[in-house]
Amino acid sequence: MAQITYRQALHDTLREELLRDEDVFLIGEEIGNFEGSYKITAGLLKEFGPRRVVDTTICENGFVGMATGAAMLGQRPIVEIMTINFIALAMDEIVNHAAKIYYMFGGQCPIPMVIRTPGGGGQQLAATHSQNLEVWFAHVPGLEVVAPSTPADARGMLRTAVRDNNPVIFLENLALYNVKGEVPDGDYTVPFGQANVTKEGKDLTIISYSRMAAVALDVAHRMEQENGLSIEVVDVRSLRPLDTQTIVNSVKKTNRAIVFEEDWRSFGVGAEIVARVQEEAFDDLDAPVKRVASIEVPLPYSKPLEQAALTGAKQLVDAVQELAPRRRR
């Protein structure tokens, strides 16, 4: 066990996978000489050379297409899209090519490609550089979408992603890169489609993913001490496939739930989770499931306005207080 940052966990995993499998290579903008906009790929060009760490022009549709083609021929590309905002340019390659080729051509070639990309706001990067667009991909069959919230899960899930034969959207978050956490030793993996109950509780359940799952855990611990509330936290970790069973089991236990998400509320991750909860745990619900999400505006640049638009701990605390049952269990 060692305490490392989320950034370090990603860096170390990429390096190990490059060492482990010759077919693995990295491709993206500024990942070589500049060592990555967020320094995830620091030192890797020097160690592995330009055939394994490929700097590209600013052309997302081009290099995602190249990576898809390389994957068809048996390579295992790990693409970095600098932030999820730029992924719009590569939508056709991802949605119409990478996600479909295995299905449309008789299963001749899988697409073992990983697209790493950070989402999230709060850095004063304004409306076009602060988005959470993961639902676009979670909606598409043929893709897998995962969003770890801790360095340990980042490491375990990135290993799974690289070794998986499907195209994987690996969602990171700008505000998670400096977060530290315990990371187990050894070559462990974290399977997709398995949510993690990061804290057990009896009074209500908070369901979340990515950075908000980390915030939820903090809030739950704090409110347990301050208000005597027993809150269960489910970090879904993987949006597609989504582990409905763990979510439903938790709701059956606590009877009340909040979905906490950084994306916009309408048609968001919470909408899907709430739908599944009411389908499978209707008779166990003691209140409508709440969604705590960001205000539906293009995110402002101004710091106070940005803070007002983004969801966070304060909004979650308010929601918990509104939803908590009178009697403690």
Partner 1 sequence: MPEITMPRLSDTMQEGTIARWLKSPGDKVNNGKKMGEIETDKATMDLEAYDTGVLEQILVQEGATVPIGQPIAIIGSGAGREASPKHEEPATVSAASSEPTEQAAPATSPSASYIQRESVAAGESSDGTRIKASPLARRIAEEYSVDLRRVQGTGPGGRIVRDDIEDVLEQQRAKPAPAVPQPQPAAPQAVPAPEVPAHVAAPPETELIPFSRVQSLIARRLAESKQTIPHFYVSTEIDMTEVLTMRQVFNAAAGEGGVKVTVNDLIVKACALALEKYPEVNSTNKEGQFFKHTHINVGIAVDVPSGLVVPVIRDANIKGVRAIARESKALIEKARTNKLAPADLEAGTFSVSNLGMMDVSEFIAVINPPQTAILAVSSTRKQFVPVDGQPVIRDLMTVTLSADHRLLYGATVARFLQEVKGFLQNPYSLLG
Q: Which residues are catalytic?
A: 60, 129
Strand intervals (E) in 95-226: 114-119, 144-146, 168-173, 180-183, 196-199, 204-208
Q: Could you tell me the CA-to-CA distances from 23 to 76, 99, 143 in Å, in that order? A: 5, 20, 21
Q: Which window, 63-71, 103-111, 166-174, 319-327, contacts partner 1 (CB under 8 A)?
A: 319-327
Q: Does 325 bind partner 1 (CB under 8 A)?
A: yes
Q: Does 185 bind partner 1 (CB under 8 A)?
A: no
Neighbours of 52 (CB within 10 A): 16
**Token pair of 305, please?**
């306005």
Q: Does 326 bind partner 1 (CB under 8 A)?
A: yes
The residue with tokens 């056709």 is 92
Contacts made by residues 94-97, CB under 8 angstroms, sequence distance 24+: 94/64, 94/137, 94/143, 94/167, 94/169, 95/137, 95/140, 95/143, 97/65, 97/68
Q: Do residues 117 and 80 touch, judged by C-beta distance below 8 A?
A: yes
Instruction: Pick from 106, 141, 185, 283 the residue near partner 1 by CB under 8 A.
Output: 283
Neighbours of 136 (CB within 10 A): 18
CB 313 to partner 1: min, Å: 24
Q: Does 55 bind partner 1 (CB under 8 A)?
A: no
- Residue closer to partner 1 by CB (options 233, 324) is 324
Rg of the chain, C-alpha, whole Å: 20
How far is it, in rounded angstroms, from Cα 169 to Cα 48? 24
Instruction: Pick from 179, 180, 284, 312 the residue near partner 1 by CB under 8 A.
Output: 284
CB 252 to partner 1: min, Å: 9
> Closest Cα to residue 112, out of 66, 162, 53, 62?
162
Instruction: Pick from 107, 186, 225, 282 the residue near partner 1 by CB under 8 A.
Output: 282
Instruction: Pick from 89, 285, 313, 317 the residue near partner 1 by CB under 8 A.
Output: 285
CB 153 to partner 1: min, Å: 26
- Residue closer to partner 1 by CB (options 95, 285) is 285
Q: Does 106 bind partner 1 (CB under 8 A)?
A: no
Q: Which window, 49-57, 86-94, 103-111, 277-285, contacts partner 1 (CB under 8 A)?
A: 277-285
Instruction: Pick from 150, 238, 255, 311 the residue near partner 1 by CB under 8 A.
Output: 255
Phi-psi region of 73 (alpha: psi -120 to 50; beta: other; left: phi over 0): alpha
The site that binds partner 1 (CB under 8 A) totals a number of residues, namely: 11
CB 256 to partner 1: min, Å: 9
Q: Which residues bind partner 1 (CB under 8 A)?
A: 249, 255, 282-287, 325-327
